[in-house]
């Protein structure tokens, strides 16, 4: 019995160690070049929301389908331009977090999107699948193809010390409630995972890269009652999930870089 307990303890220790090593490997921070960053621009931003779960099979019914279809038809009838407001909100939260915690000056979205040098680069290098959720901002896949020389050109055009590429993915972090046969209520709590890559002008290597900063699930839930989603809490829930992911991103940065000096 004692030997079995020892074997189990060793297994848990190895699992914890492997998870820690994976976490460290997914974060790279270069303090020396980062110390020279005073002004930055988020030139690429990815945003995806997938709140599907196993519970959807039990909560979906014809009522929910009718309501969802009527919302889509109403939007088309009004001629509404497709603007992913939660993505724009998340972009703003990202810039604010970098300013508050790293003491960087981050160029506002409207200035980045209006920069002629960046827009010319986007137009000349666009490929299928490069659709960004925010007009005038690159998709991360597009930004990943830029050469070091192209990144330097964009930095010069924007007047910044660093370019930031960010990708936010939202999924279901937890659920509560019960539904069966289209009856009942399920509440979903979004969770954000954030990936970031930042480049400086000195070389082709990232000065900061984090592939997997996972936040906590949101405190506000998105309710689905008889297949009908309560949209009134969606923006709040997504914002909370994003904020938690950003907190985790900065915490992982500090674990690698040490205390952040005021600039």
DSSP string, 35-96: TT--EEEEEEEEEEEE---TTHHHH--HHHHHHHHHHHHHHHHTT-----HHHHHHHHHHHH
Could you report the per-residue pLDDT of 64-92, keeping only the tens digit for each?
Answer: 443 333 333 334 344 444 458 999 999 99
Band the pLDDT of 55: cuts 50, 70, 90: low
In the DSSP assignment, the letter for residue 230 is -
User: Is residue 5, in this structure, part of any structural domain at all?
Assistant: no
Q: Does the pLDDT value for residue 32 go beyond 80?
A: yes
User: Is residue 95, in this structure, part of any structural domain at all?
Assistant: yes
Domain hosting 173: range is: 33-257
**C-alpha to C-alpha distance for 153 and 87, rounded to whole angstroms:** 26
User: Is residue 15, in this structure, part of any structural domain at all?
Assistant: no
- Total domains in the chain come to 1
Could you report the per-residue pLDDT of 205-240, keeping only the tens digit for each?
Answer: 999 999 999 999 999 999 987 667 878 999 999 999
């Amino acid at each position: 019995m004692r030997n079995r307990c020892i074997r189990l303890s060793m297994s848990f220790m190895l699992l914890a160690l492997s998870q820690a090593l994976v976490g460290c490997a997914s974060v790279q921070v270069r303090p020396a070049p980062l110390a020279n960053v005073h002004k930055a621009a988020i030139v690429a931003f990815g945003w995806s929301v997938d709140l599907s779960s196993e519970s959807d099979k039990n909560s979906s019914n014809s009522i929910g389908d009718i309501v969802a279809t009527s919302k889509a038809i109403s939007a088309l009838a009004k001629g509404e331009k497709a603007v992913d407001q939660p993505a724009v909100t998340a972009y703003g939260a990202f810039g604010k977090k970098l300013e508050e915690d790293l003491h960087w000056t981050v160029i506002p979205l409207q200035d980045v999107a209006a920069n002629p040098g960046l827009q010319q680069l986007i137009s000349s290098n666009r490929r299928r699948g490069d659709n960004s959720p925010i007009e005038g901002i690159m998709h991360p896949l597009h930004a990943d193809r830029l050469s070091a020389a192209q990144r330097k050109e964009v930095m010069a055009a924007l007047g910044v010390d660093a370019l930031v590429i960010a990708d936010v993915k939202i999924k279901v972090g937890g659920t509560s409630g019960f539904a069966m046969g289209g009856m009942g209520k399920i509440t979903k709590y979004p969770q954000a995972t954030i990936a970031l890559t930042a480049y400086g002008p000195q070389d082709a290597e990232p000065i900061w890269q984090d592939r997997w900063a996972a936040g906590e699930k949101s405190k506000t839930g998105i309710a689905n009652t008889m297949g009908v989603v309560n949209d009134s809490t969606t923006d709040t829930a997504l914002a909370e999930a994003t904020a938690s992911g950003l907190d985790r991103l900065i915490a992982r940065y500090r674990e690698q870089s040490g205390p952040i000096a005021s600039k």
